[in-house]
Amino acid sequence: MNPRLRAALIAAALATITFQLVTFYVNGWPGPPAPLFVFSTTVVLAAYLGTGIIAWQRHPADQIGLLFTLTGYAWFLPQLLSLHYAVPFTIAGGTAFVYQGCLGHLGLAWPYGKLRGRADRVVVAANYAWNIASPIAANLFWNPRATGCSAACPANLLLIDDSPRLYQDVGQITTVLGFPVTVAVIALIVVHWRRSRGYARRAMNALIWVSIPVAGYITILNIAGLVDLSQYNVLIYEAGPLLLAAPPVAYLVAALRAWRARGAVSSALVSMEPGPHPAKLRDALARALGDPTLQLAARTAGAAAFTDTDGATVDLASLPAGRMVTPLDTPGEAVLIHDAELKHEPELIRVAAAAASLALEHARLQAEIQVQLDQVRASRARIVEAGDAERRRLERDLHDGAQQRLVTLSLAIGIARDRAAGADPDLEALLESASKEARAAIAELRELARGIHPAVLTQTGLEGAIQALVERSPVTTQVRAVPPGRFPAQVEATAYFVVSEALANVAKHAQARAAVVTVREQSGRLEVEVSDDGVGGAQAGSGSGLAGLADRVASVGGSLTVHSPPGGGTRLQAVIPCP
């Protein structure tokens, strides 16, 4: 809004309000008005002029500010009555109902100051015409002296025939003729309300609430022109005008709400969990913007059509009337499709679009990281698997190669020794010691191969392999439970190495008297526990065998926990997912 225009509007409003108050008290006619009347008329004047400036400022392109302003000044015109000079007095009498024409216009142009069609224009014009014509017509026959004043009476310049009778008849006829116009205005407002959708609905709801006091007040004024309601004069003429302040108040409340909605948009999105699902993001935006019809649509690279969060295809080129597209600033193509009425709240849409872009970008990054994390996990699992396969191969090579050759060699030595028996004691002794060496080599090689990979694990599974570990443990060790079946090779190998490493630690560090091994299969996972009654104080820190073991368990998506208070024994637990 042009600052000069704004300054002029503010100055004019202040001058008008001041002028009205001054005329009331300095020059009041037929005497100083009642304080309640002064209060209510001034409140209504200030409300319309003030709201007019605010609305003009908020939406310079819309005419709503202008309409509020005009209504305010139209409300001011009849108050010129207080100046008991002929010209202002006559003007006041002739424009007594112009503000009602403005109110009808405001109602039908709500909320942005634009009439929607021909019917609106016809009814608004009729409303203006009636509200301008009817007081002029009545004033042709009204002499101010009828109110009882004499010399001090201002002149009615419109007066053509001093006929109280005609004045009354014309007044009643025009009043009756005015009812259909009022009804038409209200009917059209209801039609507008019923047709409103999305964002506009909220503003139209407010209009309906506002129309009730305004239309009610105008109807009572009209009825008072037909029927004698003079005992309610205070209520009707002094307090009643306050009802007319409803539209500015409703507009200001809506403006305040829109202003707060900007904050609500960001806080609604900030309070969502990180990387929200697009459907949840849409819901949050729809709530924050007050547009339940809001759609969030995206198009993947290379795709022709946009898809919204319900999975429906959206053609941006042929959107229904009243829809508007706001593109989002994201690497992928994404748009908000919303009620076109929201174009009147560009700031709100901008904030919403920025917040939505941020949330989508967050979700995209999160998905990307998740993919990378999955890849790293899979690659770690593959590395461990490859390592295991390599160990199995090594064990097999030792078994089928060196071990087998040594066995054959021992057999040959045995045969040779039998041949030498009795004939050559020296040779026999030599061969005997060679045989011993060969057997020792076989035994060493067997334990070496076993340490690389226990054949019994692949051959018979966890039960036999853990039994073998326990039989070799230098600490009294009991197997409490091991499920008998077979499990995936990686699961078995991991569980085996957990028990193996744990029992090795018990032997080396725990100074335990006894250890217990338990393996349980529970809801798709294998729980391995090795506990002892030793000195405790084991740490899964770096450099220890436990850190390597934790890595190994994590490679199959499991977890390792060590509970080892000083002096309280050690309990090592591994949970291994077992699909």
Residues that bind another protein (CB under 8 A): 396, 399-400, 403-404, 406-408, 410-415, 417-418, 435, 438-439, 442-443, 446, 450, 455-456, 458-460, 463-465, 467-468, 471-476, 478, 513-514
Min CB(456)–another protein separation in Å: 5
- Closer to another protein by CB, 26 or 443: give it: 443
- Closer to another protein by CB, 312 or 440: give it: 440
Min CB(521)–another protein separation in Å: 19
Would you state the structure tokens that stand for residue 451, as one six-digit string?
Answer: 């340490």
- Closer to another protein by CB, 161 or 397: give it: 397
Contact 74, 244 (CB under 8 A): no
d(CA 272, CA 200): 26
Min CB(525)–another protein separation in Å: 24
Nearest CA to 218 out of 125, 127, 101, 100 is that of 100
Min CB(566)–another protein separation in Å: 22
The answer for 198, left when phi > 0, alpha when psi is -120 to 50, beta otherwise, is left
- Closer to another protein by CB, 143 or 467: give it: 467
Backbone angles phi, psi at 328, to 5 degrees: -100, 150
- Closer to another protein by CB, 62 or 437: give it: 437
Min CB(498)–another protein separation in Å: 19
Could you tell me which residues come within 8 angstroms of residue 87 by beta carbon, excluding any fewer than 6 positions away? 157
Indicate the DSSP class of residue 421: T
- Closer to another protein by CB, 18 or 408: give it: 408
Burial class (CB in 10 A: 0-12, 13-18, 19+), 317: exposed
Min CB(435)–another protein separation in Å: 5
- Closer to another protein by CB, 102 or 431: give it: 431
- Closer to another protein by CB, 363 or 441: give it: 441
Min CB(308)–another protein separation in Å: 56
d(CA 37, CA 43): 10
Indicate the Cα dihedral angle 352, 59, 245, 135, nearest 10°.
Answer: -150
Min CB(389)–another protein separation in Å: 14
The upper half-sphere exposure of residue 171, i.e. CA atoms within 13 Å in the direction of its Cβ, equals 22
- Closer to another protein by CB, 191 or 514: give it: 514
The upper half-sphere exposure of residue 16, i.e. CA atoms within 13 Å in the direction of its Cβ, equals 27
Reading across the β-sheet that carries 333-339, which strands appear in turn?
Answer: 313-314, 306-308, 295-299, 333-339, 323-327
Min CB(508)–another protein separation in Å: 15
- Closer to another protein by CB, 309 or 458: give it: 458
Contact 457, 425 (CB under 8 A): no
Min CB(510)–another protein separation in Å: 13
Backbone angles phi, psi at 520, to 5 degrees: -130, 145
Would you state the structure tokens that stand for residue 503, as one six-digit string?
Answer: 């029992």
Nearest CA to 433 out of 448, 419, 414 is that of 414
Could you tell me which residues come within 8 angstroms of residue 384 by beta carbon, excluding any fewer than 6 positions away? 490, 552, 555, 556
